Amino acid sequence: MSEKNTFEVGLSSDAVKHPRRIVFITRKTSAKVKEEVGPQLMSFPHVILRETIAFQFLAIVLVVLALFWDAPLEQLANPLLTPNPAKAPWYFLGLQELLHYFPPLVAGVLLPTLVVLALVVIPYFDINIEGEPLWGHRSSRRMKIYLGVFAVLFVLLALYDAWTVLVPTVLVGVFGLVPYFLPTSESRFLKFLGSQPLPWWVMTWFIAVALTLTAVGTFFRGPGWSWVWPWS
Amino acid sequence: MATTDWTHQRLEQLRQTRVWRSIFRRGPARTNRTRSLAVFGNFALHTLPVKVREKSLSVRATYYLGSISFFLFVVLTITGVLLMFYYHPAVPDAYRDMKDLIYVVSNGVFLRNLHRLAAHAMVVAVFWHMFHVFYRGGYKPPHEFNWVIGVGLLMVTLFLSYTGYLLPWDQLAFWAITVGTNIISYVPVLGRPIRFLLLGGHIIGQNALLRFYVLHCVILPLAAVGLIGMHFWRIQKDGGITVRDDHE
Amino acid sequence: MPAEEMGKVTKRLRLIFAVSSVVFLMVLAISPARDYLRDWRRYERDYVRLAESRPDTKRLLTDFHPEIEQIWIPQMQVVDRCTTCHQGITRPSLADVSVPQPFRAHPPIPHRVRDWGCVICHRGQGLATEVRDAHETTLAWEQSILPVRYIQASCGVCHRAELPQTPRLNHGRELLLTLNCVGCHRLQGVERPAMLGPDLTNVGTKVSRAWIYRWLKDPRTITASDGTLLVNGYENGDEPRMPKFRLSEKELRALSGYLSTLASDPIPPYKFESHTVAAWEKRPDLVDQGETRFRQMFCTTCHSLAVTRAGETKMIGGDIGPELTKVGSKVNADWLAAWLRNPQAYLPHSKMPRYQWSDQDLYLVSQYIESKLTDPGLLSDAPKLDPAASDEVQLGRRLFTEKGCSSCHVIKGVTPQTDFGPDLASLGSKNASQLEFGNSKIKRTPVAYIEAKITDPAAVNVAARMPQYSLAPGDLDALTTALLSMTGKSASAPLDGLIQPDGHPQFRSAGAFGELYERYKCSVCHRFNGYGGTLAPDLTNEGSRAQKKWIAAFLKNPQTLRPTLTFRMPQFNMTDEEVSTLADYLSMVMQTPAVNPADTNSKKYTPEMANLGKQLYEVKFQCQSCHTIGSAGGYVGPNLTNAGNWINPAWTEEWLKNPQSLVAEAIEPHRDFTDEERAALTAYLMTLKQSASAPTGGAHGSGR
């Protein structure tokens, strides 16, 4: 995949001499028309057996955990007695952490809606079917956009003191730049980074931020949403 | 070996009985034809393809995350139905039922632990599954729509977990839901009506508990079952799961 | 791949499947096994073993079922599963201490365990069937078992009226009142009284800034120069109500400065005629005469003095008013005379009676107090304080509110605070998570919190506004018990009858009697229809008991009564008019329907009857073994020398019928006199009259 794409595009304005047509040839085709080859196995018993084993493994792990870990139960609900902090279920703590930094309309409504929309449109917007690496062209225009977006994000997050968003953003952003400056590195990790396309970087950034926010919200937030160490 | 033969013989005899043959019309799955019949002649298995590519069965290709998500759903359904025998969606009976479950019902603690654990695990598994599929490029054509269904399933999973969170009616439940539903009210114009609709009132009380209960036990599971069916169906129709070359 | 290979499964996969299937099935069996081994099943098996080892096995195992037992009281929303393990609770033969817990029988109490369950009194989680969850504080149930020393708190949850079986709770409730807790906190069932601490509107006219400074610094450690711990002074055991506030030097100066300037509405100093004063001043025994008057007026019935005899200092006198040993060094002379004349002019709520003073008495007594009851070294450890600067006064005025002083003390023009401290009306049902422990090292339980807060508020929170109380041993437990009994629960239907109206009935009267009753503060010592003090006899039935003439004579000159007693009725120097008003009212109104004067009015007590009575008194019933007549007889019962002038014959007859029907605590034995004997004894007693006009007999409190 590291080879350069070669397009041959012919375009003529003389419709009589050359009936108008576009020739678009790529060396690789989309998954839709790709012929699948390779050895095949019968679903029965192969899939059935493996799925059953998977189920049993899962059940064993669950049952053993359920024997030693008790589901939490606190006191009877009391609307007059607000715990400090009142926390949402863990998978919403990322959101709650965002609410700590940004106005509720942005953090509570706009951002989650955008995330869901983004997830839905991923397959329709990813035109880079072949997975061309981010710095495949080493294009300076791309670099300018990249740095521009990065700078805007940085300033915005710093402005709102959103450190728990800023830190993973900077980390992923810096990692994204490394393959650009070290394109010929022999390190396997750098080679791996260098081969990743833009959507990969966007998703990785999203996951890094989401994981950080959730972890911080779950373990590092105490009364008044202040920072606490979970071990103290 | 003699015993094995004997067992095989008995098994063979069983397979020849009228009752057995009325349930499983095919013979023993010893040829590819009967193996195929075993899959699409079976209601539970008919969404599976008859044949799969060998490399798609490797653990590293999928980590069985989709299956595990589904199995968790099954575990949750079973434990959930059992829990429903002991639960009243009422204030404060709901909390009292938790106590009875813990202190009186045989295996009640285990049942509740299992349900809670599986619920958390399902959220994790579904997220993980989605990220994994993304990194494998599983959303690419022709799987676009199945990805969208998957996003829908993620939403349903989160909502299932969230509605279940209120049911014990303890402080943890009450305030977690309070925090969550307060976020809804930030939606411009529609926020407060939506919250009112969800809670059946302006505060979390008896009405909210009942609504969350119905959502958790009827509406959302039905939605999940429908979407899961479509999801599985589309895997087969879209030509099986995506397997990346680097995991051959 | 050949077609037939497509369905072959490797041996390894088969093995994995086999192993995982076995493990899966095994793991599924763990929970049911664990369920069978739960605590309560073990305890039930132990109980059966215990029962089998005892002689009454069969009885111990009747009604025993190997399952979870519960006591269900729907009206109280109680489900107690305690008896699942505590199997022996209702089986008397297991009462012995040698029976191991949890099987020992419950000690006898007024309630039946089966009717009330356990958690209503002991708290804890009755629903639980696990040892830890039932007894201790858990995340899901913060009310742990109540320590046994506070168990009376649970009685107080329902029984708001005093019970004889709950001395600790009663003591605690009394302490809550006497310590003025209600000044800052809202308490369940305690009304805020009209006066908590003294009115300070004019305190600047009464005491010096140095005294205020020293008092604020620590009211409990003002020491007399002879080493006696005195304040105002209170003796060691009898603490002042005012607690110690942790005030800085600056705050002490500011507050004392502010308070010493307070004189917005002073009582005018009493002006003696200057020439008469000059005449009194010439007397060499001026102060001694003052002391004599002080004693004759029986100030010590309410106030105590430190008296040193044979090298031993003792407090002598009553505790209704403040101790006065060094009061001359505390209060200003002009203020003292004005105060003695009319205490209510300075403190409207004062309990001190308003005496009828002659100018001479007033002058003598105040001279005695100002010159003899003094100690020049009393304030030796206070710094030298100049009159307060205006910035100090400003700060002091602010601190007066900020420190909560205005919760108990009134100053005209300063808004009083009624909710300075937290509401404690439901403290007993609070969970640890509802209490502010801060960073303190205190165990996170409500009981530990209450104990710590009472003992040392600063230990809970360095910036605590709550002052420091010094408590006698036992007070801490009593107070904690009383606080734990305040659960904020309103009575539910079955408990309505237990909850009695708070406070005491008041006895008030209007008109001329009412005025005198207020002036002389009769109810501070005497009881009227269940209201008032207990120092002196109950006057509820005085009109039935005593003759009007005797009452009048007694009021006029009470000091000849009971010459050996310290606590005697003070001489108020009442006018004749006042005496007759009081005697009229007491004899006409304070009567009991049990004694009907008409029964005896028609009777004629003949000398023959009196002679028979004398015989009965001396020979048959030997009354003289307890009662004295003249100079002979016992001291257990009242002196009857003047009975004929003192007691009403109707009362006497009724009394002889059944003494306890008139005075419940009377110790006189209940004799079965015949009607004739009763009449004869009464006739005899009515002949006993002292020739002198003054009543005597020391028998005012007959039956006591």
Q: At what angle do helices A43-68 and B108-135 cross, to 10 degrees?
A: 130
Residue found under tokens 């890094």: A208
Q: Is residue A66 part of a domain?
A: no
Hey, of C16, C24, C35, C68, which one would you mutate to test binding to chain B, going by the most B CBs within 10 A of its CB? C35
Q: Is residue A62 part of a domain?
A: no
Q: How far is CA A146 from CA A119, A173, A189, in A?
A: 21, 9, 21
Please give the CATH superfamily to which domain C203-372 belongs.
Cytochrome c-like domain (1.10.760.10)
pLDDT grade for B73, boundaries at 50, 70 and 90: very high
Say yes or no to pLDDT of C699 above 90: no
Tally of CB atoms within 10 A around A165: 25
Q: Which SS3 state, helix, strand or coil, does residue C543 take?
A: helix
Hey, of B131, B160, B179, which one would you mutate to test binding to chain A, going by the most A CBs within 10 A of its CB? B179
Say yes or no to pLDDT of C15 above 90: yes
Q: Report the pLDDT value the prediction gives residue C558, as an integer from 0 to 100.
A: 74
Structure tokens at C465: 């506004």
b (16+ CB within 10 A) / e for C228-266:
bebbbbbbeeebbebbbbbbeeebbbbbbbbbbbbeeeb
What is the ipTM for the molecules in this complex? 0.89
Domain count, chain A: 1
Q: Which residues of B touch C130 (CB under 8 A)?
A: 103
A75: nearest CA in chain C? C140
Hey, of C6, C127, C138, C429, which one would you mutate to test binding to chain A, going by the most A CBs within 10 A of its CB? C6
Q: What angle do CA C228, C229, C231 make, to 5 degrees?
A: 120
What span, in angstroms and rounded, lies between the C-alpha atoms of B134 and A204? 10
How far does Cα C282 stand from its chain's mean position?
48
Mean pLDDT of C505-522: 82
b (16+ CB within 10 A) / e for A192-214:
ebbbbbbbbbebbbbbbbbebbb
Q: Which residues of B touch A64 (CB under 8 A)?
A: none
DSSP code of residue C567: S
Q: What pLDDT digit, counting tens, does each position of C461-477 carry?
A: 888 889 988 888 889 99
Q: What pLDDT digit, counting tens, does each position of C192-219 carry?
A: 887 788 888 888 888 888 888 888 888 7
> For strand B51-53 and strand A40-42, is the pairing parallel, antiparallel, or unpaired?
antiparallel
Q: At what angle do helices B191-199 and B171-184 cross, to 10 degrees?
A: 150
Q: What angle do CA B89, B90, B91 make, to 5 degrees?
A: 140
Say yes or no to pLDDT of A54 above 90: yes
- Please say whether the beta carbons of C433 and C142 come within 8 A: yes
pLDDT grade for C3, boundaries at 50, 70 and 90: low
Please give the interface size between A and B, counted as residue pairs whose CB atoms are below 8 Å apart. Answer: 198
Q: Which SS3 state, helix, strand or coil, does residue C132 take?
A: helix
Strand ranges (E), C403-489:
none
Structure tokens at B232: 């599985």
Structure tokens at C16: 């994995």
Most confidently modeled of C305-319, C501-515, C643-657? C643-657
- The answer to which of C90-99, C181-190, C223-232, C597-606 has the lowest mean pLDDT is C223-232
C1: nearest CA in chain A? A39
What span, in angstroms and rounded, lies between the C-alpha atoms of A82 and C153? 28
Say yes or no to pLDDT of C357 above 70: yes
Q: Report the pLDDT value the prediction gives residue A32, as an integer from 0 to 100.
A: 46
Q: What pLDDT digit, counting tens, does each position of C575-605 carry?
A: 888 999 999 888 888 888 888 877 776 667 8
Q: What pLDDT digit, counting tens, does each position of B10-21 carry?
A: 988 888 888 988
The residue segments making up the domain with residue A177 are: 90-225
How far does Cα C235 stand from its chain's mean position?
19
Query: Hey, are the CB atoms on C140 and B96 less than 8 Å from each other?
Result: no
pLDDT grade for C356, boundaries at 50, 70 and 90: confident
Q: Report the pLDDT value the prediction gives residue B167, as an integer from 0 to 100.
A: 95
- Please say whether the beta carbons of C485 and C146 come within 8 A: no
Q: Which helix (H) or strand (E) holds C615?
A: helix C607-615
pLDDT grade for C703, boundaries at 50, 70 and 90: very low
Q: Which helix (H) or strand (E) holds C313?
A: strand C312-317
- Give the residues across from C78 on adjacent strands: C73
Q: Is residue A170 part of a domain?
A: yes
Query: Hey, are the CB atoms on A56 and C431 less than 8 Å from each other?
Result: no
Show me where the domains of chain C are located: 3-36, 39-142, 167-190+423-491, 203-372, 511-589, 598-686
pLDDT grade for C298, boundaries at 50, 70 and 90: confident
Say yes or no to pLDDT of A217 above 70: yes
Q: What pLDDT digit, counting tens, does each position of B124-172 carry?
A: 999 999 999 998 888 887 888 999 999 999 999 999 999 999 999 999 9
Q: Is residue A180 part of a domain?
A: yes
Please give the CATH superfamily to which domain C598-686 belongs.
Cytochrome c-like domain (1.10.760.10)
Say yes or no to pLDDT of C693 above 50: no
Q: Which residues of C touch A (CB under 8 A)?
A: 1, 6-7, 9, 13, 16-17, 20-21, 23-24, 27-28, 30-31, 34, 139-142, 431, 433-434
**Assign residue B69 a region: left if phi > 0, alpha if psi is -120 to 50, beta otherwise?**
alpha
Say yes or no to pLDDT of C498 above 60: no
Nearest to B234 by CA among B156, B133, B119, B159: B133
Q: How many CA atoms lie within 13 A of C444 on its CB side?
A: 12
**Assign residue C321 a region: left if phi > 0, alpha if psi is -120 to 50, beta otherwise?**
beta
- The answer to which of C458-467, C494-503, C527-536 has the lowest mean pLDDT is C494-503
Mean pLDDT of A218-224: 90
Query: Hey, are the CB atoms on C7 and A49 less than 8 Å from each other?
Result: no
Q: Which residues of B touch C31 (CB under 8 A)?
A: 107, 110
User: What sign for the dihedral angle of Cα A66, A67, A72, A77?
Assistant: positive
**Alpha helices (H) in chain A, listed in sequence order:** 43-68, 93-101, 104, 111-125, 140-159, 163-181, 188-194, 198-219
What span, in angstroms and rounded, lies between the C-alpha atoms of C263 and C199? 12
Q: What pLDDT digit, counting tens, does each position of C118-155 carry?
A: 998 999 899 999 999 999 888 888 788 999 999 999 98
Hey, of A42, A50, A56, A61, which one would you mutate to test binding to chain C, going by the most C CBs within 10 A of its CB? A56
Show me where the domains of chain B are located: 62-239
* Chain A touched by B183 (CB under 8 Å): yes
What span, in angstroms and rounded, lies between the C-alpha atoms of B245 and C557? 121
Distance from CA of B133 to the nearest CA of A (A): 12
- Please say whether the beta carbons of B57 and A41 come within 8 A: yes
pLDDT grade for C223, boundaries at 50, 70 and 90: low
- Please say whether the beta carbons of B241 and B142 come within 8 A: no
pLDDT grade for A141, boundaries at 50, 70 and 90: confident
Q: Is residue A136 part of a domain?
A: yes
**Assign residue C124 a region: left if phi > 0, alpha if psi is -120 to 50, beta otherwise?**
left
Whether the model clears a pTM of 0.90, i.e. scores above it, the answer is: no
What integer best gives the mean pLDDT of chain B? 89
What span, in angstroms and rounded, lies between the C-alpha atoms of B46 and B232? 10
What span, in angstroms and rounded, lies between the C-alpha atoms of C62 and A170? 75
A-proximal residues of B, 16-45, CB under 8 Å: 29, 32, 35-36, 38-39, 45
Q: Which SS3 state, helix, strand or coil, does residue A126 take?
A: coil
> How large a percentage of chain A has pLDDT more than 90?
41
Hey, of B104, B169, B170, which one would you mutate to test binding to chain C, going by the most C CBs within 10 A of its CB? B104
- Give the residues across from C532 on adjacent strands: C527
What span, in angstroms and rounded, lies between the C-alpha atoms of A148 and C103? 77
Distance from CA of B41 to the nearest CA of A (A): 12
Query: Hey, are the CB atoms on C129 and B104 less than 8 Å from each other?
Result: yes
B34: nearest CA in chain C? C7
pLDDT grade for B67, boundaries at 50, 70 and 90: very high
Instruction: For residue B54, give the nearest of A38, A78, A88 by CB distance.
Output: A38
Cβ-based neighbours of C128, under 8 Å, separated by 6 or more: B99, B102, B103, C81, C134, C141
> How large a percentage of chain C has pLDDT more than 90?
15
What span, in angstroms and rounded, lies between the C-alpha atoms of C687 and C69? 74
pLDDT grade for C235, boundaries at 50, 70 and 90: very low
Say yes or no to pLDDT of A33 above 70: no
What span, in angstroms and rounded, lies between the C-alpha atoms of C676 and C679? 5
Chains near C (3 or more Cβ pairs under 8 Å)? A, B
Instruction: For residue B51, give the nearest of A32, A40, A59 by CB distance.
Output: A40
CATH architecture of the domain C511-589 equals Orthogonal Bundle (1.10)
Tally of CB atoms within 10 A around C307: 13
Q: Which residues of C touch B110 (CB under 8 A)?
A: 31, 34-35
Q: Report the pLDDT value the prediction gives residue C333, as an integer from 0 to 100.
A: 85
Query: Hey, are the CB atoms on B32 and C129 less than 8 Å from each other?
Result: no
Nearest to C258 by CA among C212, C312, C198, C293: C212
Instruction: For residue A73, give the nearest of B115, B155, B170 by CB distance.
Output: B170
What span, in angstroms and rounded, lies between the C-alpha atoms of C189 and C13? 76
Instruction: For residue B107, give the nearest of C4, C31, C130 by CB distance.
Output: C31
Burial class (CB in 10 A: 0-12, 13-18, 19+), B52: buried
What span, in angstroms and rounded, lies between the C-alpha atoms of C437 and C440? 6
What integer best gives the mean pLDDT of chain C? 82
Query: Hey, are the CB atoms on B165 and A89 less than 8 Å from each other?
Result: yes
Cα dihedral A14/A17/A19/A25 (nearest 10): -90
Mean pLDDT of B213-235: 95
Q: Which residues of A touch B57 (CB under 8 A)?
A: 41, 46-47, 50
Say yes or no to pLDDT of B247 above 70: no
Q: What pLDDT digit, counting tens, does each position of B165-197 carry?
A: 999 999 999 999 998 888 888 888 888 899 999
Cβ-based neighbours of C468, under 8 Å, separated by 6 or more: C243, C244, C245, C246, C456, C457, C458
Q: Report the pLDDT value the prediction gives residue C537, as an integer from 0 to 100.
A: 81
Q: Report the pLDDT value the prediction gives residue C426, as an integer from 0 to 100.
A: 87
Please give the CATH superfamily to which domain B62-239 belongs.
Cytochrome Bc1 Complex; Chain C (1.20.810.10)
- Please say whether the beta carbons of C541 and C508 come within 8 A: no
- Please say whether the beta carbons of B203 and A79 come within 8 A: yes
